[in-house]
Amino acid sequence: MTNLSYSDMYELLSAIPLFRGVGGDDLGLILDRANLRRVTVERGEPIVMQGDACRNLIVVLSGRVRVVTQSVRNDYSLVEWIDEVHTIELEQLYGLQQRYARTYEADTEVVCLVVSKDDVRRTLMGINIWRINLLNALSTAQARYRDMAIEALGDSLEEQIYHFVRLRALTQYGPKQLTITMATLGRYTNSSRVVVSNALHRLREKGRIEMKAGEIGFASLEAFQPQSST
């Protein structure tokens, strides 16, 4: 764990969407008043755990992160990977439930920028462009979840399976790994185990998924969406 120098801060913050447009004077103010920490997380170590209290603004600056979403009933889990600059669950910082909804683990060595919630409130919230960036980020996330919540489930079971994954995924691209039984997936899609099994085998034959005991792999979520049945 290291504190950031002036030169380090200017270089690192320029790559973070929340700080885009923040001028030099304000960046200097941030460095003088806020404790910005650059934290290195070794491969295999957790960054935050699902259910932990959200006490910091955490931005992944480099490295590959493994993200795990565990259902409340512990009847499925969804794994995905992020390898770009990413702010971890910004909406949880001051949300209704200020706890992380997913577990984030370092899949490679990961470097994060960490700012305490107190420093966010005392310093960052006083900078107009930062507040605008924050509102834009939160509004974009809210609109995404709203659109997915009201979209049609689709005519086919294949589409409903796609919707199930998409609604629970952090990102709408890249590989996903769903650990679930066919019976459980059937309950979520209002289908029998046999019908779910047939749908998954059709998707595998089309090359859209891979399957092994209890696991369904999606090589690329954005390429998965099946066509509507006719």
From residue 203, how far is each of 29, 143, 199, 208, 217 by CA, in Å? 54, 29, 6, 5, 11
Helices (H) and strands (E) in the chain, counts: 7, 12
Tens-of-pLDDT digits for all 230 residues of the chain?
456 566 777 777 877 999 999 988 898 889 889 998 989 999 999 999 999 999 999 999 999 999 999 999 999 999 999 999 999 999 999 878 899 999 999 999 999 999 999 999 999 999 999 999 999 999 998 888 788 777 656 678 998 998 899 889 999 889 999 999 999 999 999 999 999 999 999 999 988 899 988 899 998 888 665 444 43
- Ranges of each domain in the chain: 2-64+84-149, 152-223
3-state secondary structure of 204: helix
- Reading the block at residue 227, the tokens are 């066509």
- Reading the block at residue 111, the tokens are 């470097």
What is the fold of 2-64+84-149? Jelly Rolls (2.60.120)
CB atoms within 10 A of CB 162: 21
pTM: 0.89
- The CATH architecture assigned to 152-223 reads Orthogonal Bundle (1.10)
Compute the distance between CA of residue 163 and CA of residue 158 in angstroms, rounded to an integer.
9
